Amino acid sequence: MNEIFDVYNIIFLALAVFIIFRLRSVLGKRTGNERPPFDPYSKSDRQDQDAGPAGDADSDDNVIPLPGQNAPQSERLDQGQSDDVVIEKVAPAGSALNEALRQILSADRSFEPGPFVEGAKAAYEMIVMAFADGDRKALKSLLSKDVYEGFVSAIDDREKRGETIESTFVGIDKAEIVEAALKGTQAQVTVKVQSQLISATRDKSGEIVDGDPSKVTEVIDIWTFARDTSSRDPNWKLVATESAE
């Protein structure tokens, strides 16, 4: 009786091992390095899905979310900062700019003027240097379609002439919000940036045709950034540029 029971045990054990082996070969085994499930609202997952093969010029992996856009309202309240205090740091009470910023804040409770300016400064430097380097990929993720086409047209003309730009970004002396508007769900914020650059353009033979590689030049630009406040995408893009000089 015990011998029969032992034989059946051996048969069942062998079947169990075979089944486990087949399951592992079909399903694989977890190693701890598996990719997490795709989240359509996760920034990193959206980039991975949209990027395509490495080197794809249409990749959005350089999009800059301006700092502070994801900060919850409660963080401001925890710090004892009311909407009045946050806005009046950059726009006097009763001014048109103050009212416009209030409208944007009412549509986007995560918006904060101070952190926005810091993000705009970072975007400004990236865009200026990407234009000098002819980096179309970086520019495409930071600019609106119209502005991108204008920048690329200028880069194309420069390359056809065989010219190159040597540029060093020294720093930003001042940046401030000068205008704002909420048009429907489209928020627009205009920033005046005063920066210092060292820039020189050379022709095919290496001769300088514009600028000075040894001189720091002050540049004043007025740039407008925009985003759709109804979108889950927190990123702003450059939609207009002009020089104050």
Please report, as a single letter, which amino acid is at residue 15.
L
Would you say 202 and 108 are in contact if contact means Cβ atoms under 8 Å apart?
no
CATH number for domain 65-243, candidates 3.40.718.10, 1.10.420.10, 3.90.76.10, 3.10.450.240:
3.10.450.240
Structural tokens at position 38: 């795709």
Instruction: Judge whether residue 57 has pLDDT over 70.
Output: no
Least confident range of 42-56, 81-95, 102-116, 174-188? 42-56
pLDDT band at 86 (very low <50, low <70, confident <90, very high): confident
For the stretch 189-221, pLDDT in tens is: 999 999 999 999 999 999 999 999 999 999 999
Q: Which one, of 212, 171, 210, 215, lies nearest residue 193 by Cα?
A: 171
Q: Which one, of 120, 116, 118, lies nearest residue 87 by Cα?
A: 116
Least confident range of 4-8, 142-146, 218-222? 4-8
Give the span between the Cα atoms of 240 and 237, in whole angstroms. Answer: 9
Which segments of the chain are extended strands (E)?
164-183, 186-202, 208-211, 217-228, 237-243
pLDDT band at 79 (very low <50, low <70, confident <90, very high): low
Strands 186-202 and 217-228: antiparallel
Distance set, CA 63 to CA 58, 66, 172 (Å): 12, 9, 21
Task: Write down the pLDDT at residue 136.
Answer: 96
Share the mean pLDDT of the chain: 77
225 three-state secondary structure: strand
Would you say 215 and 198 are in contact if contact means Cβ atoms under 8 Å apart?
yes
- Residues in the chain, overall count: 245
CB atoms within 10 A of CB 160: 8
Instruction: Judge whether residue 68 has pLDDT over 50.
Output: no
Query: pTM of this prediction?
Result: 0.69
CA angle 124, 125, 128 (to 5 degrees): 85
Instruction: Judge whether residue 245 has pLDDT over 90.
Output: no
